[in-house]
Amino acid sequence: MLNDTFHKRFAELETEFGKMPFVPRDGYRNSQVTNGFWRKWATSTQSLITAVFGPTSPHVQNFNSLYEKCDGQDYDVKALHAVFQSAKDDFEGGYLFNVELRVSGEVFGDFVALARQSLSEGHKDVAAVLACAALEDVLKRYASLNQLNITDKSMTEVINALKSAGLVVGAQKSLLDAMPRLRNAALHADWSKISEPDVSSVIAFVEQFLLTKFQ
């Protein structure tokens, strides 16, 4: 799971900072860190908090601002660490929600965009495969993230599990009933059973599902 990977990386970077060599400067009260040491740590930290919090988060913006001004002086490097520590505390304290949902949503969003582009270019069958693949994967991922056991389950069984758990309701619940038929037709290349409106409906459903469940 992504959360476990992020948790491990935060711990690794905290350990790396603890080994940072702060070297006294002759004639100065403050110390300095060699460029290669602090910049390596800062680059890895920048990558991590961007992946976890998103590029527009206060953690990332504050870190980036400090990074641009840092020249290795101890107070600059320690300021970077303070932002890192804030991000680490917020993440480990459970104040950041749905990391995996957000990242998964971005990935599935790319699939949907490709499906929509293929459909607009007249490649209905290609669009059907992409859309149905995104649909099945997004339902399984959502079920897994909500602790449902869907190992080796068919799409229909996954849908039933989501319904039973109350994770899909209302219009989404009704629309899902027609999706296994379209998925099966695409999987078995039974193109005559899939129309352009069918593909559009799958794309629209996945887009709406991502907006409501993966934010």
Region 43-55 average pLDDT:
86
User: What is d(CA 133, CA 170) in angstroms, rounded to the nearest whole number?
Assistant: 23
Model confidence pLDDT, tens digit, residues 56-81 = 788 999 999 999 999 999 999 999 99
Tell me: do 190 and 152 sit in the same domain.
Answer: yes
pTM for the structure as a whole: 0.52
Tell me: do 130 and 181 sit in the same domain.
Answer: yes
Tell me: do 88 and 165 sit in the same domain.
Answer: no
Q: Look at residue 34 in the predicted model and tell me its pLDDT.
A: 85
- Position with higher pLDDT, 36 vs 102: 36
Task: Please check whether residue 187 is in contact with residue 132, taking contact to mean a CB–CB distance below 8 angstroms.
Answer: yes
Last residue of a domain, one of 92, 125, 147: 92
User: For the domain that residue 129 is a member of, what is the CATH number?
Assistant: 1.20.120
Q: Look at residue 110 in the predicted model and tell me its pLDDT.
A: 76
Tell me: do 40 and 131 sit in the same domain.
Answer: no
**Residue ranges making up the domain that contains 175:** 99-213
Last residue of a domain, one of 72, 92, 112: 92
Percent of the chain whose predicted confidence (pLDDT) is above 70: 89
Tell me: do 15 and 75 sit in the same domain.
Answer: yes
Tell me: do 81 and 103 sit in the same domain.
Answer: no
Distance between first and last Cα of the chain: 17
Last residue of a domain, one of 37, 66, 92: 92
Tell me: do 105 and 88 sit in the same domain.
Answer: no
Model confidence pLDDT, tens digit, residues 78-128 = 999 999 999 999 888 876 655 555 545 555 677 788 888 899 999 999 999
Tell me: do 182 and 138 sit in the same domain.
Answer: yes
User: What is d(CA 56, CA 45) in angstroms, rounded to the nearest whole number?
Assistant: 15
Chain-wide mean pLDDT for the chain?
A: 85
> For the chain, what is the domain count?
2
User: What is d(CA 74, CA 76) in angstroms, rounded to the nearest whole number?
Assistant: 5
- Position with higher pLDDT, 54 vs 116: 116
Tell me: do 204 and 115 sit in the same domain.
Answer: yes
Task: Please check whether residue 119 is in contact with residue 127, taking contact to mean a CB–CB distance below 8 angstroms.
Answer: yes
